[in-house]
Amino acid sequence: MPVLDPSGRSHAITGAANGIGADTARALARRGGHVALIDRDRAGLTALADELHAAGATVTVHPVDLRDDNAVTAVATEIQQAHPQLQTLITCAGASMLGSLEQLTMEEMRWLMDVNLWGTVSITKALLPALQRSPGAHITHMASIYALASPGGRIPYAMSKFAVRAFSEALSHELEGSTVTVGAIYPAGVRTGIILHGRYAAAIEPGVAGRAAAAQAAMYHMEPSEAAERIVRATLQRRPRTLIGKETLLVDALVRLMPVKYWGPMRRPMREAIDTTTPMSPR
């Protein structure tokens, strides 16, 4: 399977206003790629577009809420008109949610699934025809270390990422033998604002949620720019499965060795990050 040359070709990136998505756009632009930036944050997209334009890149901006299927279809049409040579789709958009099943409402869990899963499915379905017209194209979906192992306290997030993994694998089987390949990325913690600025169950006291989020963020060691470089390399090499970070490698091995009891070794290092019930100590 030939490696993709991004120069002069177009690349659509969701979640591009900040974090991994923004650095992925920068990495592709440095390689001479044209980029279609997708996010609900119009101001963030505009700021990044101005930065990339100043560096000589060809950029288009597409603000959209990926939960709105009709809006996604309209944006896909815009992208195909602006970028007739679409080579890759990289779905970096996502959100987090803290809380136990008892604390979370169905509405809160459905919201996260809409963002992480159905937004990914919607933009992929909408842009697939454009990718199929390319002589060689690749779709990269952002899964997670939690698509390999499901921790307590992260039920909706793990559900959404396991579902993204299943979607990616099933789609790759459907497209087998075509010009379009599909891969999933399994990163460990990356130093973005996803957990500190993410949502938590309304039933959790804000101070408790902040404590758990801070404990989770302290476990994140990789910079977004480094993760983005690895994502771009995996995309251009059309890899079906890419593990990023030593924690992901360890968890992958642990699940293979202990497919039923892996939570035992995982629980201890995560105990503070999944504690959304212990009251804050009085000062």
pLDDT value, residue 190: 76
Angle at 140 between CA 135 and CA 144, to 5 degrees: 165
- pLDDT-based confidence at 199, cuts 50/70/90? confident
Q: Is the pLDDT of residue 219 over 90?
A: no
pLDDT value, residue 189: 77
Mean pLDDT, residues 220-232: 89
Q: What is the pLDDT of residues 173-186, one digit of tens each?
A: 999 999 999 999 99
pLDDT value, residue 193: 64
Average pLDDT score over the chain: 93
Ranges of beta strands (E only) in the chain are 10-14, 34-39, 59-63, 86-91, 97-98, 137-142, 180-187, 199-200, 241-244
Instruction: Give every strand in the sheet of 34-39, ordered side by side.
Output: 59-63, 34-39, 10-14, 86-91, 137-142, 180-187, 241-244
Give 215 or 283, the one with higher predicted confidence.
215
**Which residues face 180 on adjacent strands?**
137
Decide yes or no: CATH 3.10.129.10 for domain 10-270: no
d(CA 12, CA 25): 9
Give 15 or 211, the one with higher predicted confidence.
15
Its pTM stands at 0.94
Domain boundaries of the chain, sorted by first residue: 10-270
